[in-house]
Amino acid sequence: MRLGKGWAKAVVGMTLLMGTAVTLPPRAMTQEATPDATKQRKVRTRVVPEYPTLAKQLEVTGKVKIEATISADGHVTSTKTVGGSPLLVSAAVDALKKWRFEPAPKESIEIIEFDFNGQN
């Protein structure tokens, strides 16, 4: 029996989705407990992630959560995936690394969420 190309793509996509998806509980929003701990830094420059071709073909949608460490001058210095489909994570991380935040007195950690709804 021979299967079509679409079937193979679906099997590969489902394997990727089910075999490597990880969801972790979110961590605290800032490094220290301060009265402003719930206050998020404002974004100066926001870049929208490109919807990955394979995710589009497989009609993968969903949210991606990323923990970002932001330097005092507003640049993203590191990221850690908190949750989301592996097919969508790299696009979200690539976009987030281009974001710029308002300067602050010290480094902070923010949880950023991207929504891939098939219309991106």
pLDDT band of residue 117 (cuts 50, 70, 90) is confident
Supply the pTM of this predicted model: 0.67
Ordered structural domains, the chain, with CATH: 5-116 (3.30.2420.10)
Determine the straight-line distance between the first and last CA of the chain, rounded to whole angstroms.
Answer: 37
pLDDT of the residue at 2 = 45
User: Which residues, 6+ apart, have CB-to-CB distance to 63 below 8 Å?
Assistant: 83, 84, 113, 114, 115, 116
Checking if the pLDDT of 107 tops 50, the result is yes
pLDDT of the residue at 119 = 66
Q: Which residues of 3-41 are buried (b: 16+ CB within 10 A; e: fewer)?
A: eeeeeeeeeebeebbeeeeeeeeeeebbeeeeeeeeeeb
Whether residue 87 contacts residue 16, with contact meaning beta carbons closer than 8 Å, is answered with yes
- 37-93 pLDDT tens trace: 457 899 999 999 999 999 999 999 999 999 999 999 999 999 999 999 999 999 999
